[in-house]
Amino acid sequence: MKISTAFCVLLSLLILACDNPFGEDEIKGENRVISGAVSLTGVKSAKGVYVWLDVIHVGTFTDESGAFNLTLPPKSALNASGTVTGDLDLYFYTINHLLVKKKVIMRDGSVVYGSGDVDRHGVIKSIYLPKSFAVETRAVYPLPNETGYQSGLSMTAHFTSTFEGTKITIPNGSMILLGGCFVINVGTNEVYSYQLPGTGAPFIASLGWREQQWSFYPNSGDEILYRTPYKVIPFIFPYYPELPQELLQSIGVSETTINEKYLEILFSGEFGQFERPEER
Q: Which of 6-20, 42-56, 254-268 has the lowest mean pLDDT?
A: 6-20
Is the pLDDT reported for residue 13 higher than 50? no
Q: Which of 113, 129, 145 is the last residue of a domain?
A: 129
**pLDDT tens per residue across span 26-60:** 334 689 999 999 999 889 899 999 999 999 999 99
13 inside domain: no
How far is CA 65 from each of CA 39, 59, 127, 131, rounded to the nearest angstrom?
8, 17, 13, 17
Please tell me whether residues 63 and 191 are part of one structural domain.
Answer: no
- pLDDT tier at 147 (50, 70, 90 boundaries)? low
Q: Which residue type sits at 69?
A: N
Strands 270-271 and 133-140: parallel
- The more confident residue out of 8 and 197 is 197
Please tell me whether residues 167 and 209 are part of one structural domain.
Answer: yes
Please tell me whether residues 90 and 192 are part of one structural domain.
Answer: no
Please tell me whether residues 86 and 166 are part of one structural domain.
Answer: no
20 inside domain: no
CA distance 139 to 272: 6
Residues facing residue 91 across a β-bridge:
52, 101
10 inside domain: no
- The more confident residue out of 266 and 17 is 266
Is the pLDDT reported for residue 252 higher than 50? yes
Please tell me whether residues 263 and 143 are part of one structural domain.
Answer: yes
Q: Which of 77, 102, 129 is the last residue of a domain?
A: 129
pLDDT of 10? 45
pLDDT of 199? 65
14 inside domain: no
6 inside domain: no
pLDDT of 280? 64
pLDDT of 80? 84
Is the pLDDT reported for residue 150 higher than 60? no
**pLDDT tens per residue across span 212-250:** 999 999 988 889 999 999 999 999 999 999 999 999 999
Indicate left, alpha or beta for 32 from its phi (over 0: left) and psi (-120 to 50: alpha): alpha
Please tell me whether residues 113 and 137 are part of one structural domain.
Answer: no
58: containing domain: 28-129
Q: What is the mean pLDDT of residues 255-265?
A: 95
pTM to 2 decimals?
Answer: 0.86
